[in-house]
Structure 1
C-alpha cells in the first residue's frame, strides 16, 4: 500500500481479442460506466476460487501482487530518514510488518495467449482479516491502525464491513506448527477421556454428591437393561424438574450408547468420575459427528479388547478433527503456499514492505537482520522483480519516466495509456505496446472504467501491466515461446531480478541473492556512520541550527558537517571525523559530572540544560530501532528501551585499546575545559589539540 497514490479515473482500454473463453462486448456508452472486472474473494467463495487459482497460477508466466495495510509507521521517527543505514531501515520495515495488519491482498496471474497475441490477466482481490479461528489460540490478534492509512482506504471506498465480517483468516507456518503441538497436548495421545483427567475427582459439594448418586443409579439401570434384556428405554425422563438435561439411547460405531444433552462441563466431569469408579465397561466420550457438531455420549463396551478399539477410534477421530480445524484455520496462507510451490516470478511495485508482510503473516516471525531475512525469503520466493527498480535502473525506461514520478499510478499512465491515444500518437515508444485482456470466471473483456475505487487486486493488475510493457521495451519477443518458458531466467531481466528498494527515497537497494546493500552508492554513502552522534532529550527550544552553533563554539566552526532532526526531541550530529565523536561524548560526560562554573558557562551547557540530555553513537540508534516498543517521541523511546549515554562509539575494541583511548579522550576534554576557562587560546586551537 502506498499512501499517496492517484488513480486514473479515465476509461482504460486494452485491445479486444477473441478467445475460447466467452467474450463480453459492450457499447461505447456502456464501457464508460462498466466497472473493472475484478474477482472479489471472501470466506464464502474462497475454497472454489482457490481451486481455480491453482490452475491459473500453474499456467501463468508471472504473478503480480499488491497489499493493503492498516498503516506504515508506528511512530514518526520510524519513517525512512536520510541518516538511516540499510540495517536500520530493515528494522523499521520489520517493525511496520509486525505491528500493522494486511486487510487486502491482490493476486493477478498473467499468461501469454499465443492465439490472440496478448497477455491475459486474472485479477483477484482477497479480503483478509486475522480472525481467531481456533478456540485454543492465544489471546486475540492485535494490530495497529494509522489514521492516515485508514483515511486513505476510506477515501477510496474500502469495504471495512466485508473485510472484518467476511475477510479470510490465516495461520502462518510457525503458527500452524504451534497449533498442532497445542492440539496434541489438549487431546492427548493416550486415554479416551476427553477431559484428560488422570486423577479421581473429589466430590466436596453436596450438589455434586447428590448428582453423582443419581447418575450412578440411572447408568446402572440402563446398563442392567442392556445386559439382562430388560426394558432399556430409548429415552430417559428429564433429570430433575426445571432442567433441560436428558439422556437418550443411541448407537456409536455399532455400540449401544447414551447421548447426554444439557449437561454442564462440570457435571460431565462428575459423571466421568462416576464411570471410572463404578463402571469398567462404560466409557465417556466427547466426539464430533460428520457435521462437526459436538456431542457427549457414554458408550458400552463388551470386552477389554472392544474398549481398546473404541479408545483407538476416538483417538483417531480427535486427530482427524484437529487436522480439519487447523486446515480450515490456515485459510489465505494456502494462496501464499501456492505461489511459493510454483516458483513463479513474483512482480511487485516498491514491494520490500509487501514481501516483509508476506513473511511476517504467512511464514513466521521476521528474522532479526536483513541478511537472515534475505536468505530465508529467497528460499520461499526465489524470483522477485520490483517494477520501480526496473523503471529507475533501465536507461531507456528511466528516460521515459523522467517527466513524471515512478509511482504506480504515474507509471501505469505513462506505459499503459488508452489504445485511442497510442493509435493517434507518433511516439514510437507508445506504439510498441503489448495487448492485455482481463478474464474473470471464463469471461474475457477489454473495455472498462477503472473508476475511483481503490483495490489491491486492481493495483496488482496495474503492476503486472507495467511489467509486461517494460519487458516489451526491453526487447522481449513474446511470439517466441522460448522466451516465456523460463521468464525469471531470461538474461534481459538478470540485472533486475531479486533487487528491492529498502528505501526508495535514498536509493538503498538490497540484493535478495546475496543480502548485500549498495553501500557504495553515492546517494547512500555520502556520510560515514562512525562520524554520527545521536543526541536526545535536550531542551525543546533548541533547534538544529542552535545545536550546531553550540557544538561549533566548543570544537571549531568546521567540526560539524550537518545536524538533522530525528523528531523534535532528538537529532543526528554529523561530525567531520570520528575523533570528534569521541571528544564530544567524553566532554559531555565530564561537564555533567562537574559542579563547577564550567557546567554553566560552557557552550555545550545549552544542550545539557536540565540534566536529562542523552548522547550516544549510531549503534545506539540501531538498538533503539530494534525494540518492539514504539513511543511517539524518540526521547521517550530511548528512555523506555533503557539506552544510556555512551562515551565510546566502538564497543568491540580490545580492553587495552579502550583504556588508552579513554585516557587520551579525557585529556582532550580536560584541555578543552581548561582552555575555555582560562581563555588562553581560541576554541579552534583547542579542538586541534
Structure 2
C-alpha cells in the first residue's frame, strides 16, 4: 500500500511539472556560439532564417538601469520611456544575443535556437570598438546562476562593428581585402586621357608577353629583383601581378576601362586610405578555368574579410536582409540596444528611432503587446509569468520541436528565453485564433491582431483604445488612462514617508485635496499626485509658488522644503539626461536649468537695442 501511494505521488508530480511547462524546458538544447564556432553557426542559421517564417530574439545585458525611477514605469509616456531605454542602451552592454528562426505548423512549433556570446573587442587594432560599459551586479549574478561563463565571454566572445563603425573603419584603414571590380566608363575623353590609356595598354601588353615568354634566360637574383621593382612586377599567390600607379579616381576608371581589352587579366582594387590613391593591381591568369577559380578565391577572401570586420553583425544583417517579422518580448529595450550597437547611434526622439529601425526591420512584433490583446487587465511583467498565465487559463497545446539539437554537453538554460518567446507567440496566436502568417504569405499584410502589435514601442500599449502619447497609466494592472496634465510631482518631504502617510498629510490641507486624488511613490525621494479632475494641478502649483491659504500641516511641509513640479519638469529630466540616483535631485537640477534659461532669455531680451540707422536694406545689396 505504501509503495502504491509513493507511485501515485510521483505520477502527480510529473503531471504537475508538465502542466507548468518545466519538464519540457529541460529538453531544450540551445546551441551556444562563441568565436571558435561562429563561422559554422553562421552558415547554419543563414539557411534556417531563409526557411523559417518568423525570427525571435532575446538579449541578456550587463544591466538596464541604476536607480528605481530610471526603469520604464507606468507614468512614462512613449517619449520618456524611449529616453530611458536610450540611456540604458548607451550605458550597458549586450553579453548574450539569442536568435531563434521558427515556424508554426498547426500546433507544432519548429524552432532553431542559437545563443551568441558577445564581447566588444578591437579585432582590427584600429581603436574600435573600445567600449567602457557599466555592469549591474544583480544582472551578472542572474547570468552566473544560469551557467554563463564570463571567462569564455571575454576571451572567446564574438566581437562586432556597427554599420556606422564599419564605414569609419574603411575610411581609416581602407578595405584590406582586394576586390575584383568594375566602374563606369569615364565620359568626355581628353587628349591626356587617350595618351594615358595608350601608355597603360602598351605596358600591360608587353608585361603579358614577357610573362608568357618561355625562352627567357635566367637572371641573377639581384638583377631580377631590381627589374621587378622598376617594372612593378609582383606575385599574387602563384600568379604574376602588375601594379599600376594612379593619381586620381579618373585614372582608376581609365585603367579599368583599358583592361577590358585583355581577357586573361583580372584587375584588383583596394580603396584609398587617408586620401592617398592605391595602385591598381593586374593579375594574369593562365586559362578561363584559372580565371573563374581566381574570381571565386577573391569572393571567398572578401567574404572572410567582411566576416572578420563585421563579426556578429553578420547575423543582424542576415535577419535584416530576410525582411522576416522579428518577435521580441520587450521590443523597446531590446531594439534600442540593437540600433545602438549594430546600426548607428540612437536618435534623440522616438519617431526618428522608429523610422530608422524600420529601414532594417520593417516588422517588429512585441509579444508582450499581444498578451494585452488577450487580457488587458492581466498584471504580468515577465516572460515566465506570461507563459504560466496562458497555461493556467487557456487550452492551447504547443509541441516544441528543435531539429538542430545541440550536444548533450551544451544543454543549459542559456538562451532558453528565445524559445519561450517563440512558444508564447504561438500560444497567443492560437488563443486569438489568428493564423500566424507572414506578410509574404498574406499579400504583404500581417493579420490584424498581429499588425496592431507591430512597430509599437510604447511599453504601455493598449491597441483597443489607442491612447494619445500624453495619456499614461498610474497602475500597471489598470487600463484607465490619466492625462499627464493631471500629475504633479512632490519631493522634499521627510525620509521614510510612505504614499499612504503622504496622502493622509495632504488630505484636507487645501481645497484641491478635498476631492478624489491619489499618491504613488516613484522612488523613496519623490512621489506623484494623481488628480481625477482637470485644473487642480495648476491650482496646486500656484499655491506652492505663492504660499497661499492652506493648513498648518501643509505650511510646515512647505517650510521643510516641500517642492512641486508638473510633468514637463520630469520630461526635461529625461531629455537633459539628469540621471541622478534620486529623482528628487534630478528634478531640482531640471528646475535650476529652467530658471537659468529663463534668466538668460530675459537678459537677452533686455539687451536688444533697436536702431533704424543700423538696419540692413535689402535693396542696397
TM-score range, shorter chain: 0.5 to 0.7
Match of 1:631 in 2: 580
Distance in structure 1 (CA, Å) of the matches to 2:349 and 2:140: 29
Distance in structure 2 (CA, Å) of the matches to 1:383 and 1:389: 14
Match of 2:523 in 1: 567
Residue 361 of structure 1 aligns to a residue whose secondary structure is helix
Match of 1:485 in 2: 441
Distance in structure 2 (CA, Å) of the matches to 1:338 and 1:555: 61
Unmatched 5+ stretches in structure 1? 1-6, 14-33, 187-231, 235-248, 257-280, 291-300, 418-426, 593-597, 648-689
Unmatched 5+ stretches in structure 2? 1-18, 177-219, 253-266, 279-300, 597-621
Range with bigger deviation, 40-49 or 362-371: 362-371
Distance in structure 2 (CA, Å) of the matches to 1:383 and 1:582: 42
Equivalent of 1:529 in 453, 474, 484: 484
8 Å contact kept, 1:65–1:346: yes
Question: By how many angstroms is 1:100 displaced?
Answer: 1.6
TM-score, normalising length: structure 1: 0.58
Q: Deviations over 1:635-655 (max 9, x none)?
A: 3323455645779xxxxxxxx
Equivalent of 1:122 in 100, 112, 123: 112
Question: By how many angstroms is 1:145 displaced?
Answer: 1.4
Distance in structure 1 (CA, Å) of the matches to 2:87 and 2:169: 24
CA gap 1:140/1:515 in 2 versus in 1, 3 angstroms: farther
Q: CA RMSD in A?
A: 5.0
The within-5 A match list for 1:345-356 is: 345-356=325-336
The within-5 A match list for 1:515-594 is: 519=471, 523=478, 526-540=481-495, 544=499, 545-546=501-502, 549=505, 552-555=508-511, 557-558=513-514, 561-575=517-531, 577=533, 579-591=535-547
8 Å contact kept, 2:100–2:111: yes
Distance in structure 2 (CA, Å) of the matches to 1:555 and 1:644: 31
Match of 1:255 in 2: 228
Match of 2:362 in 1: 382
CA gap 1:411/1:540 in 2 versus in 1, 3 angstroms: closer
Match of 1:604 in 2: 555
| Greater radius of gyration (CA) | 1
The within-5 A match list for 1:62-77 is: 62-77=54-69
8 Å contact kept, 1:132–1:141: no
2:416 maps to 1:436:
no
Match of 1:618 in 2: 567
Number of equivalent positions: 486
TM-score, normalising length: structure 2: 0.64
CA gap 1:434/1:154 in 2 versus in 1, 3 angstroms: closer
Distance in structure 2 (CA, Å) of the matches to 1:580 and 1:406: 32
The within-5 A match list for 1:104-503 is: 104-111=96-103, 118-137=108-127, 140-183=130-173, 255-256=228-229, 316=270, 328-394=308-374, 407-412=382-387, 430=395, 433-440=397-404, 453-456=412-415, 458-475=416-433, 485-486=441-442, 489-491=445-447, 493-494=449-450, 496-498=452-454, 500=456, 502-503=458-459
Distance in structure 1 (CA, Å) of the matches to 2:535 and 2:454: 39
Question: By how many angstroms is 1:572 displaced?
Answer: 1.9
Distance in structure 2 (CA, Å) of the matches to 1:482 and 1:631: 44
Distance in structure 1 (CA, Å) of the matches to 2:97 and 2:132: 19
Match of 1:206 in 2: none
Question: By how many angstroms is 1:95 displaced?
Answer: 1.9
CA gap 1:182/1:577 in 2 versus in 1, 3 angstroms: farther
Distance in structure 2 (CA, Å) of the matches to 1:250 and 1:547: 94
Distance in structure 1 (CA, Å) of the matches to 2:581 and 2:526: 12
Range with bigger deviation, 378-387 or 142-151: 378-387
2:30 maps to 1:38:
yes
8 Å contact kept, 2:33–2:41: yes
Match of 1:508 in 2: 461
